[in-house]
Structure 1
Amino acid sequence: MIQASKRVGNLGRCPGKQCIDPFREDFDMLQIRPVSRSVRLNGFSTCLRLEAVYWGILERIAEANECSVSAVLSYVDREVHLRQGGVRNFSGLIRVICVAWLQQPPGVR
């Protein structure tokens, strides 16, 4: 097995090219652990399981909108029902919303 330190620079996949190592020096592996939280979505209690990193992004979205994480999740739930008639994978939708929010320029968020 090749040690990670020897792979940095080309990661073994980019012969002749410099590749970017996706692991920052301060990468926290705890961010990938799944966290389940009980949430209330438009009056209904449910449990939502997301990786810790997504809960952090949801907190940032809630802070930017001056509301709670539950309010953000309720808004998404309501809107997806109004716009699309619902969604089969709500946690997947939340992950995509988090990534899309991060991709927006800071002035737009």
Structure 2
Amino acid sequence: MIPASKRTTGQGRWPGKQCIDPFKADFDMLQTQPVSRSVRLNGFSTCLRLEAVYWSILERIAAVNHCSVSAVLSYVDREIHLRQGGVRNFSGLIRVICVAWLQDPPAAH
């Protein structure tokens, strides 16, 4: 983390370069904790381990779509099999989908 003295002056590790602290003042480290949940993907039970922040984003995606998180995950699983024949790292795919959704959210949320 960047020391407070560096943050207030706008100086980072490299003298003469602007530095933007990526931590919000109320940053919650609990959002980084991995959480495992049992989910059903298209009828198959599995366990998915994601950081808490991603579960929160998935809940927002599900709310916008008026469905459950399991329904969102099943949709992604089905679509990735249809479009790409599957994926090796499903949890990584979910993380990227969450970030992409935040970058370009639908107007409804």
TM-score, normalised to structure 2, is: 0.90
Q: Match for residue 58 of structure 1?
A: 58
How big is the shift at 1:36? 0.3
Moved over 4 A (4+): none
How big is the shift at 1:105? 4.6
Q: Match for residue 71 of structure 2?
A: 71
Alignment-mate amino acid for residue 11 of structure 1? G
For 1:40 and 1:105, the matched residues in 2 are separated by 25
**Percent of aligned pairs sharing the same letter:** 78
Please give the secondary structure, in 2, of the residue aligned with 1:87: coil
How big is the shift at 1:7? 2.5
For 1:50 and 1:107, the matched residues in 2 are separated by 26
Q: Structure 1: give runs of 5+ residues left out of the alignment.
A: none
For 2:11 and 2:106, the matched residues in 1 are separated by 31
Q: Match for residue 99 of structure 2?
A: 99
Question: Which piece of structure 1 moves more, 71-80 or 4-13?
Answer: 4-13
For 2:108 and 2:60, the matched residues in 1 are separated by 14
Q: Match for residue 12 of structure 2?
A: 11
Q: Structure 2: give runs of 5+ residues left out of the alignment.
A: none
